[in-house]
Amino acid sequence: MTRHFTDIDDLSREELLEVLDRAADYKRKQRAGTPHPDLERQTLGMLFQKPSTRTRVSFETGMTQLGGHAVFLGERDIQLGRGEPLRDTARALSGYVDAIMARVFEHANVEELARYAGVSVINGLTDDAHPCQTLADLLTIRETFGELEGRSVAWVGDANNVARSLALGCALCGIDLTVATPPEYALDDTVIERADSLGRAPETTDDPDAAVAGADVVYTDVWISMGQEDQRDHRLSAFEDFQVNEELLANAADARVMHCLPAHRGEEITDEVIEGDWSLIFEQAENRLHAQKGLLSFLLE
């Protein structure tokens, strides 16, 4: 049966842990120089409507390390639903590749690809969700603390697509999540309800100091995402008390800090924190590679 990965809860808890186990094994093999061509001669088609550094390089490198091949298809290379209906693109590509990864604006586009494709479709990011990032986040937390169950994460800032997928991933793994946002940028009720149905709804607050107290991990992301540039002044004003800095971390005892990158240094997070002993940010970035390899082998083997 063809499996798709449009959001993190397309996996059960057991399947999610299996993907993380595969990712950890691939990371050990990569660092030991042990070849692992488990997807030899398989091809990943990569559809990009939004540009990216980490998504493109990690998927392309991951397929190479797994013995396969990745094909980059940007907006100029494919219609992405403009000239050709997306359902036709999905069916045509299914005759050429073994899986499709799509990084697009509208979540409905990934869902339509999955509906019509005859191969696995992976969400590389949409405006609603970023499940591949959540895989890397959970792998990083498990590496750092040993277990996921019972750990605590504080999200500080905008409850964006990264936060929404993280909420579902934390619920699946038994992590206590608190989301601190200005009221107008709070986590959607539908996401809270989905997380609750998976086992654990996040706590929500507008007080970042309270959110980080006792947290194992403090996590933030940009306040102004791609396509929101016209909201810049309003957002900077709304989030001015939500910066992850040394003062905030003084309330968090021994917490580690995560950020999915790219970071706007001096806005949502300071240089001192990114470069300090708190930071797991670049381990987290590397883990995109290993987590996606775990996902690809889970879907395609």
Structural domain span for residue 123: 8-130+288-300
Which entry of 56, 151, 256, 288 is annotated as an active-site residue?
A: 288
User: In this structure, is residue 3 part of a structural domain?
Assistant: no
pLDDT digits (tens, 9 = 90+) for 222-245: 999 777 788 899 999 999 999 999
Query: How many domains does the chain contain in total?
Result: 2
User: In this structure, is residue 1 part of a structural domain?
Assistant: no
203 and 260 belong to one structural domain:
yes
- Domain holding 170: CATH number? 3.40.50.1370
CB 113, CB 86: distance < 8 Å: yes
Q: Is 36 assigned a catalytic role?
A: no
- CA dist 152 and 145 (Å) reads 11
Contacts of 266 (CB under 8 A, 6+ apart): none
pLDDT digits (tens, 9 = 90+) for 120-173: 999 999 999 999 999 999 999 999 999 999 999 999 999 999 999 999 999 999
Q: Is 260 assigned a catalytic role?
A: yes
277 and 173 belong to one structural domain:
yes
User: How is residue 208 written in tokens?
Assistant: 């970042």
Amino acid occupying residue 77:
D
Q: Is the pTM of this model over 0.95?
A: yes
User: In this structure, is residue 164 part of a structural domain?
Assistant: yes
User: In this structure, is residue 2 part of a structural domain?
Assistant: no
Q: Is 130 assigned a catalytic role?
A: yes
277 and 293 belong to one structural domain:
no
Which entry of 98, 260, 290, 292 is annotated as an active-site residue?
A: 260
- CA dist 92 and 46 (Å) reads 14
Q: Is 132 assigned a catalytic role?
A: no
User: In this structure, is residue 234 part of a structural domain?
Assistant: yes
Which entry of 4, 54, 56, 103 is annotated as an active-site residue?
A: 103
278 and 145 belong to one structural domain:
yes
126 and 190 belong to one structural domain:
no
Which entry of 22, 54, 56, 130 is annotated as an active-site residue?
A: 130
CA dihedral 258→141→166→183, nearest 10 degrees, is -50
256-259/43-48 β-pairing: unpaired
- CA dist 49 and 233 (Å) reads 26
pLDDT in tens, the chain (301 residues): 899 999 999 999 999 999 999 999 999 999 999 999 999 999 999 999 988 999 999 999 999 999 999 999 998 787 665 678 899 999 999 999 999 999 999 999 999 999 999 999 999 999 999 999 999 999 999 999 999 999 999 999 999 999 999 999 999 999 999 999 999 999 999 999 999 999 999 999 999 999 999 999 999 999 997 777 888 999 999 999 999 999 999 999 889 999 999 999 999 999 999 999 999 999 999 999 999 999 999 999 8
